[in-house]
Amino acid sequence: MTTKKAVSMNDSTAANDAPDWGALLARVAETDDKAAFRAIYQHFAPRIKAYAINQGFSQHAEVLVQEVMTSVWRNADKYSASLASVSTWIFTITRNQRIDILRKLNRTRAEIVIETEDLWQIPTEDTTICSIQNLSTEKFVKAAIDKLPEEQMIALRKVYYEGKTHEEVAEELKIPLGTVKGRLRLSLQKLRVMFEAKEL
């Protein structure tokens, strides 16, 4: 495959709301579509940065964003919708790039805190992050989410599994935006309680 040059994010315009990420990746792969790439960048770059901060990796957050998005640009043709969602594919790249950076910094595997796609987009200001970083297994995280009331679990999964915005979830579930935010807030509060109990 021909290696693409790095792309300036000022070279294109944002895509419409609720884009088809798979279709956008296909445009990047087939025609080096800069507008499609910018839409992907604008949506996922903040999530990658938040993930880095959540993992105690804030010092290298910007480097991680650039490494991941460069890899997305160069390897868009390798994405397969039959194997994973775009969000999962980019999360996997993000996780692997972070591990590579840690190795370059001569940091041990033991310093790599819990990495779970379920929670990679949790807002950095939420103090639940501190508890998540201290957990040792993803199994507990998944079990904790499963214990949430169904309405809260659904809202949480749509945001953190599927990468949807609060507005998209409100439209899909046909409920007010405030209700979505309320359910997410309550779910995170309950997760925090479970995480803190785990640490005791």
Encode pLDDT of 17-68 as tens digits. 557 999 999 999 999 999 999 999 998 988 888 778 767 677 888 899 999 9
The distance of Cα 185 from the centroid of its chain, to the nearest Å, equals 18
Tens of pLDDT along 123-157? Answer: 443 434 444 444 444 566 778 888 899 999 898 88
pLDDT at 57: 74
pLDDT at 92: 86
More confident call, 162 vs 185: 185
C-beta separation of 121 from 182 below 8 A: no
Dist. CA 171–CA 23, nearest whole Å: 22
pLDDT at 98: 85
More confident call, 46 vs 175: 175
Q: What angle do CA 21, 185, 112 make, to 5 degrees?
A: 65
Dist. CA 193–CA 188, nearest whole Å: 9
Does the predicted model carry a pTM greater than 0.75?
no
Dist. CA 68–CA 73, nearest whole Å: 9
pLDDT at 73: 95
pLDDT at 15: 37
Task: Check residue 32 and give left, alpha or beta (phi > 0: left; psi -120 to 50: alpha).
Answer: left
The distance of Cα 32 from the centroid of its chain, to the nearest Å, equals 23
Question: Which is nearest to 194 in space by CA: 131, 150, 134?
Answer: 131
Across the chain, what does the average pLDDT equal? 75
Of 103-107, 123-127, 166-170, the range with the highest mean pLDDT is: 166-170
Dist. CA 38–CA 7, nearest whole Å: 9
The 10 Å Cβ neighbour count of residue 138 is 14
Q: What is the DSSP letter of 20?
A: -
